[in-house]
């Protein structure tokens, strides 16, 4: 089942490369039917039987590469399956044929790589998978061929390449220290010490560069703002989560047991808070809708990094479960809401030809469904009940208060206010009446519905907190017998 999560999109990618004819989008359709089913199956399996791993090629622990499925990976897999499938359907109606020829193979390859990344258990394999994601993402970002997008894409590529190289050097340090590559074994073997600390610093810096945390956020807004709408949605909702997932897995799985994370966790937490404030502020003053949404990504990624000081400073913290739930909820609801926002922005551009918010007047009466989508997704971003964003912030607040590290509360509180500011700024323009009616093209049915479904999902996941929290319990994460069912 879990192997098929990689095999199916790869087969579709090859198919769409070899047969780029009229029916190229059907490869995407088929994949978006299969993957959610497969992801749900894997999730049920993990939900009932706990974490499991498979050894690729049948080679056992230190030698072979493994795929590891636990509660955390399953949650990210489901999110990717849902967002990916809906964006695929949107893209099938969005791209004209000569762009679709380039879009499908790259996106399907990237989908396979993302699925593989969420099951990764081998640090060198993680590097290869990350690079596959990077090159596909950079190629997708330049899909429109505009000069700005080319520059943004190249800047992203270079930052990501430097980040990967730092990560790879870290892999080298870990290998030199322990002589193994499997994260699961490293989590037991790795002791603290200067070599491990160097590996830790290099890998963290590399992944932080790729996740666009504050000092390295500069590549994100142009890259996400200039890409075609479905691509922006994919990049913001999924690609950033990939490197964040790997960072989380490494910190909690490998470095925290070795006891070298505590000081760095505060640094990441501070950067996260700064990213929330700075990103939200920038979003408030941007003149274009897509740039607002892109800067909002910078801010929302900041929230994710609050997990580290809450999880990795005190061993066996009683509030860990709430911090886990807050972080994963933030990742999922941000993925869904951000995809909805970018797709809705895409509809707006299709209809009016621009995404400058001064030209957005009166869209509430002309494109009511798109406006409604913007509003719903905004609710989730702000963290109003009962949305997924609310659960995330609620859990974060509880964990923060229980841990006594009250200063982190600045981020959810002030960040929420600033978010409300830019969401209402968008909606405010949408409801303004224009003096003269601008020319607007109708938006096809499917293109309006898909973002709405995504926005609804980001609200509705707030009602299913139990299962997700169950999946994040401690015994669902790393816990497997070494001689288990692998």
Partner 1 sequence: MHGFYIYAITAILLFCLGLWGLAFHRNLLRKIVALNVMAGGVFLFFISIANPDQSGEVDPVPQAMVLTGIVVAISLTAFALCLARRIHEKTGQNELDTSCSIEDGDG
Partner 2 sequence: MALFLDILVAFSLVAIAWRIMRAPGHFQAVVLFITFGLLLSLAWARLNSPDIALAEAAVGAGLAGVLLLDTLRAVAQPGKVKTGAHFSWLLLPCLLLAGLLTLSIIHIQPDSQGLARAVEAGMQTTSLEYPVTAVLLDFRGYDTWLELGVLLAAVLGLLCVRRKKSIRAPLLPAPAEPVGRWLISILLPLILLVGGFLLWLGAFAPGGAFQAGVVWAAGGVLLWQAGHPSLGALPVSLWRTGAVLGFALFWLLAATALIRNEPMLTHPQAKAWILAVEYAAALSIAVCLTSLAIGGQKSEDRNQKSEVRDQRSGDRCQITNNR
Residue placing its CB nearer to partner 2 in the complex, 107 or 408? 107
Give the one entry of partner 1, partner 2, none that residue 349 binds, where binding means its C-beta sits below a cut-off of 5 to 8 angstroms depending on kind: partner 2
Contact flag: residue 29 with partner 2 (CB under 8 A): no
Q: Which residues contact 53 (CB under 8 A, 6 or more apart)?
A: 66, 67, 68, 69, 121, 184, 480, 484, 486
Q: Which stretch binds partner 1 (CB under 8 A): 197-205, 309-317, 368-376, 469-477?
A: 197-205
Helix (H) or strand (E) holding 67: strand 66-69
Chain residues 74-133 in contact with partner 2, contact rule CB under 8 A: 93-102, 105-106, 109, 112-113, 116, 124-125, 128-129, 131-132
Residues from 125 through 154 that contact partner 1 (CB under 8 A)? 127-128, 131, 134-135, 138-139, 142, 147-148, 150-151, 153-154
Specify burial of residue 182 (Cβ count, 10 A radius: 0-12, 13-18, 19+): buried
Residue 300, SS3 per DSSP: helix
Q: Is 369 in the site for partner 2 (CB under 8 A)?
A: no
Query: Does residue number 318 form part of the binding site for partner 2 (CB under 8 A)?
Result: no
Neighbours of 418 (CB within 10 A): 22
Q: Indicate the DSSP class of residue 475.
A: G
Cβ within 8 Å of residue 263, ≥6 positions away: none
* Residue 176 DSSP SS3: helix
Write the interaction track for partner 1 spanning residues 233-272; mark x where CB under 8 A is met and - where it is not: -------------------------------x--x-----
- Nearest approach, Cβ of 73 to partner 1 (angstroms)? 23
Query: CB burial class (10 A; 0-12, 13-18, 19+) of residue 71?
Result: buried
Question: How many residues make contact with partner 2 (CB under 8 A)?
Answer: 78
Contact assessment for residue 127 and residue 243, using Cβ atoms and an 8 Å cutoff = no
Residue nearer to partner 2 on the CB measure, 63 or 413? 63
What residues have CB less than 8 Å from 388, skipping those under 6 apart? 329, 332, 333, 336, 337, 380, 458, 459, 460, 461, 462
Residues 54-73 that bind partner 2 (CB under 8 A): 54-59, 62-65
For residue 157, the tally of other CB atoms under 10 A from its CB is 19
Residues 170-189 close enough to bind partner 2 by CB under 8 A: 173, 175-181
Least CB distance from residue 279 to partner 2, whole Å?
23
Looking only at residues 436 through 465 of this chain, which bind partner 2 when binding is defined by CB under 8 A? Answer: 444-445, 447
CA dist., res. 31 & res. 12, Å (int): 7
**Binding of partner 2 at residue 288 (CB under 8 A)?**
no
Among 17, 29, 47, 218, binds partner 1 (CB under 8 A): 218
Asked whether position 56 contacts partner 1 by CB under 8 A, the answer is no
Determine the 3-state secondary structure of 211 from DSSP: helix
Q: Which residues bind partner 1 (CB under 8 A)?
A: 124, 127-128, 131, 134-135, 138-139, 142, 147-148, 150-151, 153-155, 157-159, 161-162, 165-166, 168-169, 172, 175-176, 181, 198, 201-202, 204-205, 209, 215-216, 218-219, 264, 267
């Amino acid at each position: 089942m879990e192997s098929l999560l990689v095999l199916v999109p790869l087969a579709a990618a090859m198919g769409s490369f070899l047969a780029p004819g009229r029916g190229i989008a059907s490869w995407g359709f088929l994949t978006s039917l299969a993957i959610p089913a497969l992801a749900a199956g894997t999730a049920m399996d993990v939900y009932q039987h706990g974490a499991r791993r498979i050894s690729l090629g049948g080679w056992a622990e230190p030698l072979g590469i493994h795929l590891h499925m636990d509660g955390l990976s399953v949650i990210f897999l489901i999110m990717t399956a849902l967002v990916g499938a809906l964006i695929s359907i949107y893209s099938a109606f969005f791209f004209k044929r000569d762009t679709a020829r380039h879009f499908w193979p790259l996106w399907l390859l990237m989908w396979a790589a993302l699925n593989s990344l969420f099951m990764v258990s081998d640090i060198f394999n993680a590097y290869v998978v990350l690079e596959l994601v990077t090159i596909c993402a950079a190629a997708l970002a330049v899909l429109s061929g505009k000069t700005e997008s080319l520059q943004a894409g190249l800047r992203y590529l270079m930052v990501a390449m430097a980040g990967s190289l730092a990560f790879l050097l870290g892999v080298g340090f870990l290998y030199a220290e322990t002589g193994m590559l499997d994260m699961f074994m490293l989590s037991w073997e790795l002791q603290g010490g200067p070599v491990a600390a160097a590996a830790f610093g290099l890998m963290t810096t590399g992944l932080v560069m790729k996740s666009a945390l504050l000092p390295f956020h500069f590549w994100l807004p142009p890259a996400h703002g200039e890409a075609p709408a479905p691509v922006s949605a994919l990049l913001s909702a999924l690609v950033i989560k990939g490197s964040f997932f790997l960072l989380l897995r490494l910190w909690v799985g490998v470095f925290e047991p070795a006891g070298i994370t505590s000081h760095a966790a505060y640094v990441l937490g501070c950067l996260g808070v700064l990213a929330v404030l700075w990103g939200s502020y920038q979003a408030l003053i941007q003149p274009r809708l897509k740039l607002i949404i892109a800067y909002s990504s910078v801010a929302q990624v900041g929230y994710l990094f609050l997990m580290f000081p809450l999880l990795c400073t005190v061993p066996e913290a009683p509030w860990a479960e709430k911090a886990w739930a807050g972080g994963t909820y933030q990742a999922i609801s941000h993925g869904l809401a951000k995809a909805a926002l970018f797709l809705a922005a895409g509809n707006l551009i299709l209809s009016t030809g621009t995404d400058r918010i001064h030209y957005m007047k009166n869209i509430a009466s002309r494109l009511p469904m798109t406006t409604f989508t913007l509003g719903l997704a905004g609710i989730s971003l702000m963290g109003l009940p009962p949305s997924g964003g609310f659960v995330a912030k609620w859990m974060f607040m509880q964990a923060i208060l229980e841990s006594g590290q009250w200063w982190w509360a600045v981020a959810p509180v002030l960040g929420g206010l600033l978010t409300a500011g830019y969401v209402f700024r968008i909606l405010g323009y949408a409801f303004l009446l224009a003096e003269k009616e601008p020319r607007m093209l109708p938006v096809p049915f499917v293109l309006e519905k898909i973002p709405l479904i995504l926005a609804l999902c980001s609200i509705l996941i707030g009602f299913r907190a139990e299962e997700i929290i169950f999946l994040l319990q401690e015994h669902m994460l790393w816990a497997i017998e070494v001689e288990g069912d692998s």
